[in-house]
């Protein structure tokens, strides 16, 4: 009924982008999320699989790279399926609805021409109007922007 997870970690490898037979984009990557420092000195991490769909998948595949510090928001999904050997397999993965990278790119020019959201904030979000699952955290109004401090606000 409520299932929300927030992670910050580094990509263990570049994302893999694929398409379903129906043409839907899916990207996957793994986040190494370091556990709090243990006195043992060893470097423990949880390696957590992330899945992103559609437009966000393509954007993630384009900008996220191995080693990048990245914040992910989503829900934890436990999938049970039968593999080709007929064995029951349990898979845990985070279905992300928001992905942002937190360190500056290596300035290799890849980001040139990007809008403000990358040049300045380096966040990727699924705020894409044509997407069915689009989430707009910002202003919830359809057309013209409305300042919710307006005197005509009902509260």
Partner DNA sequence: TTTT
- Is 105 one of the binding residues for DNA (CB under 7 A)? no
- Smallest gap, in angstroms, from Cβ of residue 130 to DNA? 27
- Is 88 one of the binding residues for DNA (CB under 7 A)? yes
Burial category of 80 from C-beta neighbours within 10 Å (exposed 0-12, middle 13-18, buried 19 and up): exposed
Query: What DSSP designation does 148 have?
Result: T
- Is 70 one of the binding residues for DNA (CB under 7 A)? no
Nearer CB in complex with DNA: 43/131: 43
Closest residue by Cα to residue 25 from 51, 53, 64:
53
- Is 120 one of the binding residues for DNA (CB under 7 A)? yes
User: Which token pair is 140?
Assistant: 């919830």
User: Applying CB under 7 A, which of residues 8, 19, 24, 66 lies at the interface with DNA?
Assistant: 66
User: Applying CB under 7 A, which of residues 10, 56, 70, 72 lies at the interface with DNA?
Assistant: 10
Tell me the three state secondary structure of residue 57. Answer: helix
């Amino acid at each position: 009924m409520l299932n929300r997870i927030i992670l910050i970690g580094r990509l263990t490898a570049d994302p893999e982008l694929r398409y379903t037979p129906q043409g839907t984009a899916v990207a996957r990557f793994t986040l190494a999320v370091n556990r709090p420092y243990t006195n043992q000195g060893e470097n423990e991490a949880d390696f957590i699989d992330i899945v992103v769909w559609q437009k966000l998948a393509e954007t993630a595949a384009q900008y996220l790279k191995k080693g990048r510090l990245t914040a992910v928001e989503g829900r934890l999904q436990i999938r049970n399926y039968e593999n080709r050997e007929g064995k029951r397999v349990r898979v845990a993965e985070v279905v992300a609805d928001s992905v942002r990278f937190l360190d500056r790119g290596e300035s290799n020019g890849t980001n040139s021409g990007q809008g403000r959201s990358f040049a300045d904030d380096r966040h990727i979000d699924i705020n894409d109007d044509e997407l069915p699952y689009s989430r707009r955290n910002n202003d919830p109004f359809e057309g013209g922007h409305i300042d919710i401090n307006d005197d005509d606000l009902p509260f």
